[in-house]
Structure 1
Amino acid sequence: MNTTDFTFKGTTETIENASFTWQTPSNIALVKYWGKSEPQLPKNASISFTLNSCHTTTEIKFTRISKSKEPQFELYFEGKKKDDFKPKIAKFFYRIKEYCPYIFEYEMIISSENSFPHSSGIASSASGMSAIAMCLLSLEKELNPNMTEDFFNQKASFLARLGSGSASRSVEGPLVVWGEHPEIEGSSDFFGVKFPYHVHKIFQNYGDTILLVDKGEKQVSSTIGHNLMHNHPYAENRFKQANNNLSKLSKILQSGEIKEFINLVESEALTLHAMMLTSNPYFILMKPNTLNIINEIWKYREETDSNVCFTLDAGANVHLLYPEQEKEKIKKLVDNKLKIYCQKNNYICDNTGLGAKSM
C-alpha cells in the first residue's frame, strides 16, 4: 500500500453529531527506532510490546459545522483545559487534512486521560496520538460504513504515525512491527503491523514492570533526539544494526531462545542511549538511579539465573521484562531491592499484550 490508498474518497453518509471513546496502549520498543525522515518515516524497522496498563483513554465529541479553514477543537487533559497542547494537535490535523478532510467540517471536544505520568519516557505521545486517530477513524467509518476492519486499523496506524512515529505501534498488539523489513511479511514504513509469525509460549503474557526513576518531563524531546541523527557519525551503521537485530529477534521470538532475547534487548536499550551520548549536541537521559537499577538486575541475574532483563525508552525509567512464571519473584525483587531507586518508591506493574479497544 502507499499513501494514496489512505486519501479520503468521499462520504456516503451525513453525520451531524457523534461521540467516540477509545483506549489505546503505550508500547515499549524491543528493537528501537531512532532517526526519521519526513513525513515521520523511520530510518529502520522496529518492534514493540504493547502495554496494557499504560494507556490513554480519549473521547472526541463531533458536532457538524460549516467547513472551516482551521481545525475547530477544544482540548481537555485529565479534566483540565490544556491550551498548551493545542499547537501540536493542530499541526497533526493540518498534516492529515488530505486523508481526513472531514474533520474541518466538525467542531471537536477532545478529552483525554492517562493511566501513567505524562512526558516521563513511557511513550505518552504514542498512546495519545493513536487514541485520537482511532476516534477519527470511527467517525470515518460512520461516514463510510463499508470500511473493513483491516483498513480501519491500517489507516488509524497511518494517521497516528503522522502525529508520533511510535504511535503507529499502539493500535494493535501484543507485538507490533513498524518499518519495512524484508523478513517481516506485510511490514511498512507507513503503518504498524502485528508480528505475523508464531510466538513461542515463553514470550506470551510477558511481564513489564516500569520503575519510575524520574516522573518529570524529559530534558530533551524525542523529536529533537531523532533530528540529531541526521548528521550523526554512527547513524548509518546504527540503522543497519537495528534491521539486523530485528531479523535476529524475529527468530528468537519464534524459537523461545530467552537468553538471546535478554542479550539483544539490553544491547538495543544501551545502544539507543549511546546514540544520545554521541550526538552533537550530546545529552544524557539516564539518571544515576537508572544505572543503579541496571546493576542490581545484572547482580540478581548472576546470582539466581533469572530471565529478567531491562530495556529503556528515551528517558530515565527502566522497564523490567520477564516471563510470566517469574512474576512473583520479580515483584519481590522490586519491593526488596529496586523500588528504593524510584521516585517516591513508585512503579507500575504491567503485562504486555492488549491493543486498542473501543470504550
Structure 2
Amino acid sequence: MSSDSDCRSVTCQASPNIALIKYWGKRNEELILPDNDSLSITLDTNDMHSYTTVSTSSSMTCDTFYFDGVQQTKLASRMQKVLNEIRRRTKDGKIKFVEIRSHNTFPASSGLASSASAYASLAIALTNLFNLDDAQSTAAYLARIGSGSAVRSIYGGFVRWSSEGECLSSCVFPAEHWSEFRIVILIFNSSKKAVSSTDAMQRTRQTSTLFQARLSTINEKMTQLIEAIKNKDFNAFAKIVMMDSSQFHAVCMDTYPPVIYLNEQSKHLIHLVHAYNQMDGDQTTKVAYTFDAGPNPFCFIRQEHVDEFLRLLKYFYPTVNADADKQVSSDADEKFSSITLPVTPNVLERIVLTKIGSGPKIIS
C-alpha cells in the first residue's frame, strides 16, 4: 500500500443474507435485474461477515485485490465492473486506482452467501471512500451489479429486493422487530459448489419448464410472508419459507442438465425437522429450514426452542469436532430416540448460532 500523504482508506463489515423467498433468474445479465422480488434476513455481523478495506492514492498505478492476504492475479470481471462504475461516478479525477483487501469469517462459494457480504462491504467502502451522493442507494446499485443478492446485505433486518423500477432493496422490518428470532446454520460441506449460481440461473432460465410456474407464485408468497413477519406468526412463516425452498430446488432439478445442490445430509435434515416439529403432537412449528444454492441448511427458530433443537442436533449428528459441538452446552437427549431416522456421526463441520443483524458497519 502507498504511504503517500494523500492515501485514504475505508473499512466495512457486512454480513451475508439468507433468502426466505429466493431470487433465481435475471432478465438482464449486465445490470443484474431479477425476474422476481425476493425477501431475506441479514445476519448479525458478530457471527458471520466479510471484512473489506479499500485504499486509494494518486501514486497507485493499477487496481490490486488481496483475498485472505493473498494477492489475486486478476480481478473478477464483476469486480472490475463495480470499479468502472465508481470511476464514472467519482468527482475526484485524480484518484484512478484502488487496493482492495477482503476477508471472510466463513467459507466462500459453498452456498453461504459469501458473495453477497463481500460485494456489499466493497460497495459501501467504495461509496464512503469517494464520498458519493445518495450513499445507500448508490451502494445498493454497486452491490447489485457485483452480485445480485448483495443488494440485500446493504440493509439489516428483513430486506426486500424489488424486481421493478430501479431494482434496489429496502428494509421491510428492522432487526429488533422480531428480537427472539434466531438462525442456526449447519455447515455439512464447506467445499466450493460444482455449479455456480450465475451459471445455474442461466441454465434454469433456458431449460426449466417449471421456472415460469414458480414466478407466477412469488407475489402471493411475498404478501403472505410479509404479513406473517408483521404478526410474528412463526407457523405461517415456517410453512411459506420451507415450501419456497423446496420449490426453488425443484426448479433446479428441472433444469437440464439438472442442478443438484442438496446432498444426502441435506435431505436427512429436512426429514429431521419435520419429524421434530411433529414429535409433540401439537400444531406448533418449532423450527423451519431453507437451503440456498448449496447443501447447508439455514434453520429458523425462536429463542425458547434453541436449546432443545441443539440437543436434537447433537443426538442425530454426534461429532468429535469441537468447533461443531461448542454451541451445545448439555448432553444429547434420549427422548429423541422416538424419531425413526438414522444417526449420522461426524457429518457436521460447524454450527453457527446467530440472529438477525442490524446491517453493515463502517470500521474506519
TM range (shorter): 0.7 to 0.9
Of 167, 182, 186, which residue of structure 2 is paired with 1:190?
A: 167
One-letter identity of the residue aligned with 1:226: M
What residue is the counterpart of 2:158 in the other structure? 175
What residue is the counterpart of 2:204 in the other structure? 229
What residue is the counterpart of 1:133 in the other structure? 123
Of 225, 229, 232, which residue of structure 2 is paired with 1:249?
A: 225
Asked if residue 217 in structure 1 is aligned to residue 192 in structure 2, the reply is yes
Spell out the pairing of 1:140-179 with structure 2 (5 A cutoff). Answer: 140-141=130-131, 147=133, 151-179=134-162
Asked if residue 94 in structure 1 is aligned to residue 98 in structure 2, the reply is no
1:95, 1:162 within 8 Å by CA — same for their partners in 2?
Answer: no
Q: How far has the Cα of 1:125 moved from its partner?
A: 0.5
Asked if residue 82 in structure 1 is aligned to residue 57 in structure 2, the reply is no
Q: How far has the Cα of 1:46 moved from its partner?
A: 0.4
What residue is the counterpart of 1:28 in the other structure? 18
Of 17, 29, 50, which residue of structure 2 is paired with 1:56?
A: 50
One-letter identity of the residue aligned with 2:8: A
2:189, 2:349 within 8 Å by CA — same for their partners in 1?
Answer: no
Task: Give secondary structure in 2 for the equivalent of 1:283.
Answer: coil
2 CA distance for matches of 1:352 and 1:102? 37
Task: Give secondary structure in 2 for the equivalent of 1:248.
Answer: helix
What residue is the counterpart of 1:3 in the other structure? none
Task: Give secondary structure in 2 for the equivalent of 1:264.
Answer: helix
One-letter identity of the residue aligned with 1:134: I
Q: How far has the Cα of 1:339 moved from its partner?
A: 5.9
Task: Give secondary structure in 2 for the equivalent of 1:170.
Answer: helix
Q: How far has the Cα of 1:307 moved from its partner?
A: 1.5
5+ unaligned residues in a row in structure 2: which ranges? 320-343
1:178, 1:193 within 8 Å by CA — same for their partners in 2?
Answer: yes
TM, length-normalised to structure 2: 0.83
Task: Give secondary structure in 1 for the equivalent of 2:111.
Answer: coil
2:205, 2:211 within 8 Å by CA — same for their partners in 1?
Answer: yes
TM, length-normalised to structure 1: 0.84
One-letter identity of the residue aligned with 1:47: L
CA RMSD of aligned residues (A): 2.4
One-letter identity of the residue aligned with 1:213: F
Asked if residue 119 in structure 1 is aligned to residue 119 in structure 2, the reply is no
CA pair 35-95 structure 1, distance change in 2 beyond 3 A: farther
Spell out the pairing of 1:340-359 with structure 2 (5 A cutoff). Answer: 343-359=347-363
Number of aligned residues: 326
2:16, 2:114 within 8 Å by CA — same for their partners in 1?
Answer: yes
CA pair 128-200 structure 1, distance change in 2 beyond 3 A: closer
One-letter identity of the residue aligned with 1:215: S
5+ unaligned residues in a row in structure 1: which ranges? 1-14, 182-187
Deviations, residues 258-297 of structure 1 (Å, cap 9, x unaligned): 2111110000111111111001221211110000111111
1 CA distance for matches of 2:92 and 2:199? 31
1 CA distance for matches of 2:85 and 2:209? 31
Spell out the pairing of 1:257-272 with structure 2 (5 A cutoff). Answer: 257-272=233-248
Spell out the pairing of 1:317-332 with structure 2 (5 A cutoff). Answer: 317-332=296-311
CA pair 267-225 structure 1, distance change in 2 beyond 3 A: same
1:205, 1:353 within 8 Å by CA — same for their partners in 2?
Answer: no
Q: How far has the Cα of 1:113 moved from its partner?
A: 0.8
1 CA distance for matches of 2:212 and 2:227? 24
- Of the structure 1 ranges 253-262 and 263-272, higher mean CA displacement relative to structure 2 is found in 253-262
CA pair 178-348 structure 1, distance change in 2 beyond 3 A: same
2:175, 2:357 within 8 Å by CA — same for their partners in 1?
Answer: no
Of 269, 286, 289, which residue of structure 2 is paired with 1:310?
A: 289
CA pair 351-103 structure 1, distance change in 2 beyond 3 A: farther
What residue is the counterpart of 1:5 in the other structure? none
CA pair 339-114 structure 1, distance change in 2 beyond 3 A: farther
Q: How far has the Cα of 1:61 moved from its partner?
A: 1.2
1 CA distance for matches of 2:349 and 2:176? 34
Q: How far has the Cα of 1:352 moved from its partner?
A: 1.7
